[in-house]
Each structure stands twice: as structure tokens, then as C-alpha cells.
Amino acid sequence: MPKGSDMDAVVVGSGPNGLAAAVTLARAGLSVTVVEGAASIGGGTRSEELTLPGFLHDVCSAIHPLGVASPFFKSIPLSEYGLEWLYPEVQLAHALPGGEAALLYRDLEQTASLLGKDGHSYRRLFAPLVERWDDLAPDLLAPLHVPRHPVPFALFGMKGLLPAQLLARLAFKDAPGRALFAGMSAHAFLPLQRPLSGAFGLILGTLGHTAGWPVAKGGSRSIAAALASYLTSLGGEIVTGCHIKSLADLPAARIILLDVTARQLEVIAADRLPSGYRRTLQHYRYGPGVFKIDWALDGPIPWTAAGCRRSATVHVGGTEDEVARGEAEIWQGIHPERPFVLVAQPTLVDPSRAPRGKQIAWAYCHVPHGSTVDMTDRIESQLERFAPGFRDLILARHTRNCLQYERYNANIIGGDINGGVQDLRQFLARPTLLAPYRTPLPGVYLCSSGTPPGGGVHGMCGYHAATLALKDLK
């Protein structure tokens, strides 16, 4: 990278958080340069032809409830810069044994009505959160602080601190409600018997009703492209193909924001960090990884349950007990025979991403940290279980294990796409308890998913880090 004259700010990494940090600084009038090691921007929001020509797959994230609901994304005119959200009829489907499925619609009453005797319990669990989401979102998607709306925040906390499996069994008597909640909670990458795992199910369920679970038209790369286009309109600059191995590689700047996780910060700034802070970084924990498959398909997935054919997101894992067992096994170093599988079928709402009459699908399952085990057969067996004939449609597939993901993107340590474990301990201290974005180095900040509020495509880590940097600058 050229060592030009001093600039106001440099951001390392062009994922959603890095770009959000850069936009926040540029909106405040600072000159900003984003430095990206890869040849293209995006981090976890890239799209490529991974299987066959004409089939456009999302390399990492595909479904974006947190993106469309992000207070930061909503504060900037991304639709004017090419970002369009596409919504399925059913926001989420959870395939169940016997050809049934639990379905989540945007309309809370419609969803509750399908749960029979558990409908009242569903309303009681989610209605207060749906009604107060606009008050809750800024408090939940932020570092530890005194909440601006303490009453709804406390009501959420009383439920969210519970283990997901316990909360599912307390709230619901029948299999559909329990399975639907367990599947949403499994996005936590935590055993469903652990405290705080229930918070993920509550947030994702609430988002299904308040914001939906959309895909980005043209692939997830459209999110990064819109952020980048807006940044350049503000005078920001982006440099790709520039890998930063040390802070010494960067030009002088008043502010440096690093969209990297704890382990990378320790490497980049090793000789400059105080020993106590280095130990904090060394004790930062990374969680389970993912094994992911992208398919080029000859037609839509033949789900037995009709509802699964109307949703861009399908949870495949069976009952609540099956989901919980599989997620617990991962933390024991076991690769489940029947893993919980997250499936995305974007061409249901965006047919432009495959040739006419063809489809793409995206799926991953959780695996032990750093796994190199090929889970292709187990994932496809799960789909065959709920969509007989699925394998006959496969034209081509592309797979990635944990270590291949880490080689693809250095932020995905051991395949951990959340930037670190999001249990109670690392919810409070991510990576430190107070001012988690600020490092001991003057003017150097962390802005990755290794800071609050953690994983997901929402840009809030970058926004909060940049806001703190601006406050310090003043």
C-alpha cells in the first residue's frame, strides 16, 4: 500500500463491519481508506460461480434477517446504491418427520394459528418482543451499557438468558413449536442446554415477524457493493489485494480500525501490545465451525412438506430433541450422523441467479472446531430424508470444510463464522468487558464480529467501533 501523506482513518478489512466503520467515519467528514487483502471486497458477503457457469452462489452468508433489521443499515440509503431485499412467502420453514413442517410467516397471528394448542403460547412469547422491537434493537445490538428502554430489555433478558431447550419445553407442548424454536436457537452455535442460547431463538423469531428473512437480489455481494458505492460517494477509497501482516504496513493515520478477530490482532500488533492485553486475546475462545455445500440443481428441491417449497430458508434436523442432541455432540468433538442443517434456496425468490429452469441451494452444518471431515453424505442424507429424490437433481456441488474456510478468509478461525464463541462469558467480554472496541494502542480499534454484538451481517460492530473512535478523537 502506498505510504502517502497522513490521512484521517484506515480500515483494514472490507466485510460488512469494516465497510460500516468506514461509512460512519466518512459521514463524519473524515478521509477514509479501506484496505482489503483479497482481490474483491465483501468478507462474508461475497457471491461467486462456485459450481457451474451461470450459477451464482453466496460464499458465506445468504439469508439476512439481521441485515434488513440493522439500525445502521436502515440509517443509510443502500437502496439508492443497488441493494434490494427479496422476501419469500414463508420466512422460515422447519422440516418435521412425517412430511410436516413448522412455518414462520411475517404475520405473527398466521404463524400462531398454525401451531394449534401452542398458538397462545407462541403469541405470549413473541408478541411483546415484536411490539417493542424498535426499542429493543438498539440495546440488543450494542455493547454492554445501561439500556435506554430498561423494561422491555429486562423482559427479554429474563427469557433470553434461559437455555433454548428449556425455554422451548416451557413454552410449547407439541413438536412443531419446540422444533421451530430449537432450530432458530441453533444459530447460536451453542449447546441448547446452555444459558443464553434461548436469546438467539427469540431474536431470530422476532425478526421473522418485524423484518423478515430476505435474500439480497443478485447475491450477498450486493450488500458489500452497496456499502462500497455509498462509501465512495462520500469520498472514501478502497484498496484491494493488499494483505496487512503488521501495523507497520499501514500508512500513518489518526484512526486505525481493524476488521479482524482477537487472534489476528495479536499477530498484527504482537510487538506493540501490553502483556496483559495479549493474554486476554490469547484466552479468547473460538467455537465450532461449519461444513458447507453449494449445489447447482436441475430443479427445485422436492420437499415433502409443501411449506418448505415456499421458504428461502429451511431448517433440516427433525425434532427439537434431535436438533439439541446434534448441537451438543459437536461440543464433544463428535460429528453428528444426523446433523442440524441450514438450507437456503435463493432462486425461489431470485431466479436470476441460475439459468432458466435451474436452481441453486446452499447448506451448512455445524462441526467441531477446525474439522476437516467431509460431511457431504450426512448433509445430503438429511435432505433426502425430508425431500426424497433430492440427489437426483444435483448437477454439481462445491464444498468447503473449516480449514478451507480459514484459508479463504482469515477471520473464520477454525471455521467459526461467528468470530468467536457467543456464550454468556464472551457476550459480556468480547474480547474485553469495558470499551471492547478500544485497544491499548492509541488510535487503534477493533471493529469485527469479535466485538459486540457479534456475528451476523448487520454492520453494528463497525458502527459502534467507529462511533467510539470519533468520540475519542474529539
Per-residue pLDDT tens digits for 190-215: 999 999 999 999 999 999 999 999 99
What DSSP designation does 463 have?
A: H
* Strand extents, DSSP E, 145-252: 215-216, 237-239
Beta strands 92-96 and 444-446 are: unpaired
CB atoms within 10 A of CB 157: 16
Q: Cα–Cα distance between 441 and 150 in angstroms, integer? A: 34
If you search the block for the grid coordinates 421473522, which residue do you land on? 208
Architecture in CATH of 7-47+65-84+216-285+419-473: 3-Layer(bba) Sandwich (3.50)
Domain boundaries, the chain: 7-47+65-84+216-285+419-473
Q: Closest Cα partner for 172 from 130, 112, 93, 90?
A: 112
Q: Which of 17-21, 430-434, 467-471 has the lowest mean pLDDT?
A: 430-434
Q: What is the pLDDT of residues 216-240, one digit of tens each?
A: 999 999 999 999 999 999 999 999 9
Determine contact, residues 285/60, Cβ cutoff 8 Å. Answer: no
Question: Could you give the residue ranges of the DSSP H alpha helices within 58-107?
Answer: 65-69, 71-74
Residue 4 has pLDDT above 80, yes or no: no
And the C-alpha cell for 395?
448437477
Q: What is the pLDDT of residues 368-414, one digit of tens each?
A: 999 999 999 999 999 999 999 999 999 999 999 999 999 999 999 99
And the C-alpha cell for 29?
467528514
Mean pLDDT of 89-115: 98
Q: Side-chain half-sphere of 169: how many Cα atoms within 13 Å? A: 10
Q: Is 307 helix (H, G, I), strand (E, B) or coil?
A: helix
Q: Cα–Cα distance between 222 and 214 in angstroms, integer? A: 13
* DSSP β-bridge partners for residue 367: 289
CB atoms within 10 A of CB 86: 15
Largest CA-CA distance found in the chain, in angstroms, rounded: 68
Residue 450 has pLDDT above 70, yes or no: yes
Q: What percent of the chain has pLDDT over 90?
A: 95
Determine contact, residues 84/217, Cβ cutoff 8 Å. Answer: yes
And the C-alpha cell for 197?
442460547
Q: What sign does the CA torsion over 130, 131, 133, 139 have?
A: negative
Q: How confident is the model at residue 6 (pLDDT cuts 50, 70, 90)?
A: low
Q: Closest Cα partner for 75 from 460, 435, 440?
A: 460
Q: What percent of the chain has pLDDT over 70?
A: 99
- The pLDDT, as a whole number, for residue 7 is 82
* pTM of model > 0.85: yes
Q: Closest Cα partner for 365 from 337, 389, 345, 386?
A: 337
Determine contact, residues 105/90, Cβ cutoff 8 Å. Answer: yes
Residue 5 has pLDDT above 90, yes or no: no
Q: Closest Cα partner for 96 from 115, 72, 70, 82?
A: 115
Determine contact, residues 399/427, Cβ cutoff 8 Å. Answer: no
Determine contact, residues 40/14, Cβ cutoff 8 Å. Answer: no
Mean pLDDT of 280-304: 97
In angstroms, the first-to-last Cα distance of the chain is 28
Residue 29 burial by CB count (10 A; 0-12/13-18/19+): exposed, middle or buried? exposed
- The pLDDT, as a whole number, for residue 341 is 98
* DSSP β-bridge partners for residue 341: 316, 365
